[in-house]
Amino acid sequence: MQKYFHLHGRLPIEISRGCWWNKCTFCNLNLQHNCYREKNVEKIIEEIKFLSDRYKILNFHIIGNTLPKRNYRNLLEEIKKIGKDFSFFVEARAGGLKSHDYTLLKEAGFIVMQTGIEAFSQNYLKKMNKGVRVIDNIATLKFCKENEIKNDYNLIFDYPNEEKIDFEESKKNIQFFMQYLDPPQLNNLLVGFGSHIYKHPEEYNIDKLDFTDIDKIMFPLEFLEKGFNFYYSFKRKKDIEQNNWKLLVEEWKNENEKFLFGDSRRNSPINRFIFYFLDGGNFLKIYDKRNAENVRIYVLNKVEREIFLSCIDIISYQELEEKFSNIPNYQLTAILYTFEKNGIVFKEDNYYLSLPLQYNVKSYKYAKKELTTTAV
């Protein structure tokens, strides 16, 4: 057991309690501690150093629902200063973090994370009250992929009030990136004790909560009726059309595997990504191998390059207008439309995100005033 732990195990270290968002309709992880609090950076660093030296360990599991809300960049910089080859696992929220934050995470030793993605449908995310958009979720996976951070995230399905639009929106959006971004783990919904769904079943097409099959096997009925269960199954008031989520994720996995185990020439460094760009200074080249039958190379001119690079992080059309006030609006609109039509950018509610990966991720040097940026 000792050998197994040292090979595979991670030492837990608590940095916060509760969740500052705490509004997801399916979540019941913070029933015992509804308020949010976090340790200061100095205390976290002190504990990491002590535990690492005391137990001769470099692998840590960060205990907390997300990265620190305040001063997370300071924390990452201070971890780097320790000068050890750390390996961290952390849970995080999508949105808020920029491309360069993921580069900083990787430099600090955060090589595995689990982001609360849950859905790629705007309609479904509203049911879940995640407080993020589809574009935020895509950005998270893109930034993880290009920084070689493994993201063990979930896709939740089978909400009692699931609709066809939830599946169709997800299917449509996934087509943009299923060939090169990592697929999810698929989790069907169980109603957690104390969650918003548990408290308000009538809002979610639930006729009756029931004990899960595994609990029925494990416990006598007289015990179950005392109500100590943590998760429940449910019976719907109105049946819904079944959506084939398993097939969708299976196709996603197959698309990924086709690239990983395909042509041996793909093992060369220039082919490590399937959809990426290289910057030429006054021009930019995008390599698009998402369709093996129709490989494309886009060459952007100076203006197109600048607009494209401005979309590496999520940006609004209004911000782009202000940034490129020197060119006519019709030209900016036409360039963005061409990008969107060719799947080079993803658009959601007048916000834009470039989809190709940065082939050469550069360390971001930011001003001191940015170090207190709030994570979401």
Q: Across the strands, what pairs with 186? A: 155
User: pTM of whole model > 0.85?
Assistant: yes
User: For 10-29, how does the pLDDT look when each residue is reduced to its tens digit (9 = 90+)?
Assistant: 999 999 998 999 999 999 98
Where exactly does CATH 1.10.10.10 map onto the chain? 264-358
Which helix (H) or strand (E) is 248 found in, with range? helix 245-260
Distances in Å between the alpha carbon of 47 and those of 72, 81, 375? 16, 15, 22
Average pLDDT of 307-319? 98
Residue 35, both tokens: 């308020």
Q: Measure the CA–CA gap between 122 and 221, rounded to whole angstroms.
A: 40
Q: Measure the CA–CA gap between 209 and 228, rounded to whole angstroms.
A: 14
Phi and psi at residue 162, in whole multiples of 5°? -60, 145
Query: Given the DSSP bridges, would you call strands 154-157 and 185-188 parallel, antiparallel or unpaired?
Result: parallel
Q: Measure the CA–CA gap between 14 and 31, rounded to whole angstroms.
A: 18
Task: Name the percent of the chain lying above pLDDT 70.
Answer: 91
Q: Measure the CA–CA gap between 348 and 342, rounded to whole angstroms.
A: 15
Query: Domain 264-358 carries which CATH code?
Result: 1.10.10.10
* C-beta separation of 90 from 113 below 8 A: yes
Where exactly does CATH 3.80.30.20 map onto the chain? 2-192+238-260
Q: What angle do CA 376, 177, 322 make, to 5 degrees?
A: 55
Q: Measure the CA–CA gap between 84 and 161, rounded to whole angstroms.
A: 48
Give me the DSSP letters along 292-309: TTS-EEEEE-HHHHHHHH
Mean pLDDT (the chain) is 90
Q: What is the pLDDT of residue 119?
A: 98
Looking at CATH, the fold of the domain delimited by 2-192+238-260 is given as pyruvate-formate lyase- activating enzyme (3.80.30)
Q: Measure the CA–CA gap between 154 and 158, rounded to whole angstroms.
A: 13
Q: Across the strands, what pairs with 61? A: 12, 89
5 confidence band (pLDDT: 50, 70, 90): low
